[in-house]
Structures are given as structure tokens and as C-alpha cells.
Amino acid sequence: MTASLSSSHRSRDTRGADHGVVERSRLQPLPALDPRPPLHLVAPEGQLQVHTAPYRGSFGTVLSQALRSAGLGSRVGVAQFLKGGVAQGPEAALTLCDRMTWMRPAVMECLSQPASASLPSTIEAVEAVWLVCRAHLACGDLDQLVLDELGLAIALGYLDEEDVRASLEARPGSMDVIITGTSIPESLMGLADQVTELRRGF
């Protein structure tokens, strides 16, 4: 008991001495710190990229990159607006790498003539692919969306430029969008974060 009391007494003396030193030095107590707000992770920022060329058929490199992204776990959508030949349509879209969906319009040939010279069913087939893309742009359920020959589809009259621009402007900030092909309208070029121009070698 005596040892316990002595230890307690020494502890009180020490605290008292420390307090006296603080008073004599006239130190001010530290201000209370406000609790820090929780950290917020910064969401990845998507980009709108344009890959343009003076000729058709510049899609291969972008498709390879899309496949690589899907293989690494990204959710990828690929839409070829003017490529036909397999009567695919959105309902029969292919799935590659379990993460990439590939769509073409349900037509039996590749399209190169204006919409005014095409059958109504052909125009509807192209529009059906765009409607799926527009839904993806609205809900942001993809990490990357590739729009092949989107500009030429607009130039030939299959898609409305203002509708396309509005959908691209309203896309989620985390989604990457890649537009490829010829005849990219200036209104879409103005939205691009990056423009790559491919030139035919001589």
C-alpha cells in the first residue's frame, strides 16, 4: 500500500510541475482542430477522341485498342454505322472478350449512297444502331464507346447532326468516346479533346 501511495504522489507532483512550467512560460494552448472531411476520390475523366482520315477503312487500329481495353476489364461498345453484309442489327450484336459489344446495322451491304437514295428500312437500320449508342451516352454504362464512320453517316443523311452533338455533349464525364472515319463535322471536331489525322502513305 505504501509503495502504491508513493507512486501516486510522485505522479501528481510531476503533473503539477509540468503545469507550472507551462504557466511560467506563458505558452498558449493549441487551438482545437476541426475534424477533417473524408477524402473524395477523383473520378477518371473521359475524353472525346477523333480519328479521321481522307479514306474509308481506318478502323483497324482503333478496334485493336478497343479489344485490348475490353481484355483488361473495361466495358466497351463498338458501333459501325455503315458496315453491313451480315444483317446483324443491335439485337444480334456480337460480344467479344465478355466485355465488348459490337454492333452493325441490319443491312446486307456496306452503305455508301445518300440516305435519300436508300430504302426506308436501311435508314431505320442505321438509326437503330444510333439509338442504342445514344442510350449508352445517356446512362454512362460503358467505359469506352467507339463510333465508326459516324461523321459519314451524318454527311450521307442517315443521322441528324444536332441530335448527335447534343448526345455527345451530355455524355458522362468518365466515358471515353472515339469517333473514327471520314467527313467528321466541324461541330463534332469542336468537342474533341484529341484529334488524330491518318494519312495514306505514298
**CA of 18: how far to CAs of 13, 21, 26, 165, in Å?**
9, 5, 13, 71
What is the DSSP pairing of strand 144-148 with strand 176-181?
parallel
Question: Could you give the CA distance from residue 54 to residue 201 in angstroms, rounded to a whole number?
Answer: 12
Question: Could you give the CA distance from residue 140 to residue 172 in angstroms, rounded to a whole number?
Answer: 6
Predicted local distance difference test score (pLDDT) of residue 20? 60
Instruction: Check whether 182 has a pLDDT greater than 60.
Output: yes
- Of residues 95 and 145, more confidence is placed in 145
- Of residues 5 and 158, more confidence is placed in 158
Predicted local distance difference test score (pLDDT) of residue 97? 84
- Amino acid identity for residue 135 in this structure: A
Instruction: Check whether 42 has a pLDDT greater than 80.
Output: no
What is the DSSP pairing of strand 194-197 with strand 176-181?
unpaired
Predicted local distance difference test score (pLDDT) of residue 1? 43
The CATH topology of domain 48-197 is Rossmann fold (3.40.50)
Predicted local distance difference test score (pLDDT) of residue 53? 85
Predicted local distance difference test score (pLDDT) of residue 118? 95
Please state the domain extents for the chain. Answer: 48-197
Tens digits of residue pLDDT in 139-153: 999 999 999 999 999
Predicted local distance difference test score (pLDDT) of residue 12? 46
Write out the DSSP string of 104-165: --S-SS---S-GGGS-HHHHHHHHHHHHHHHHHHHHT--SEEEEETHHHHHHTTSS-HHHHH
